[in-house]
């Protein structure tokens, strides 16, 4: 019998949603580990409202997978795209939402991500302050 991880299940849900409209609230009966994996995958696409819904349903906003956190996935964006100044308001909104659920600067484990997102950070006073490294 095959064994599937929470990430295997979450990846299949993402694929299903590519072909069939299904709101994330429809997955409310899934266990927290699958919801957390789904949150981590969703963060890459910066869908703030879906991310918040998943957290409210029990997903862990501090989820870490393959060495990266939800915050890092969110900042990087899909394949590293969407890093220009035009997305700064959306990224700021998402980071503010994550902080409502306990995410802090400590959730950023890889500082090199900041250099990839420089144009976003310099166009948001909030992000500049939030992501500044404490001495």
Q: Which two tokens stand for residue 80?
A: 């590293």
Beta pairing, strands 64-65 & 68-69: antiparallel
For residue 16, what are its two tokens? Answer: 């299903």
Residue 72 has pLDDT above 80, yes or no: yes
Write down the residue that tokens 């409210």 correspond to: 56
Whether the full predicted model's pTM is greater than 0.85, yes or no, is yes
Q: What is the pLDDT of residues 2-18, one digit of tens each?
A: 899 999 999 999 999 98
The pLDDT value recorded for residue 81 is 61
Q: Which of 50, 54, 48 is nearest to 36 (CA)?
A: 54
Q: How confident is the prediction for the chain on average, in pLDDT?
A: 91
pLDDT at 109: 93
Any residues with CB less than 8 A from the CB of 119 and at least 6 apart, and which? 83, 84, 85, 88
Half-sphere exposure of 13 (CA within 13 A, CB side): 23
User: If pLDDT is split at 50, 70 and 90, which confidence band does 82 have?
Assistant: low
């Amino acid at each position: 019998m095959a064994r599937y991880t929470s990430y295997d299940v979450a990846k299949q849900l993402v694929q299903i949603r590519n072909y069939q409209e299904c709101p994330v609230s429809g997955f409310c009966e899934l266990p927290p580990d699958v919801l957390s994996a789904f949150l981590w995958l969703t963060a890459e696409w910066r869908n703030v409202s879906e991310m918040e819904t998943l957290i409210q349903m029990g997903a862990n906003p501090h989820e870490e997978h393959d060495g990266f956190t939800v915050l890092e996935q969110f900042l990087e964006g899909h394949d590293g795209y969407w890093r220009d100044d035009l997305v700064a308001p959306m990224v700021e909104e998402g980071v503010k939402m994550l902080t409502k659920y306990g995410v802090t600067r400590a959730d950023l484990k890889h500082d090199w991500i900041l250099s990839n997102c420089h144009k976003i950070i310099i166009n948001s006073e909030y992000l500049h302050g939030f992501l500044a490294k404490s001495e």
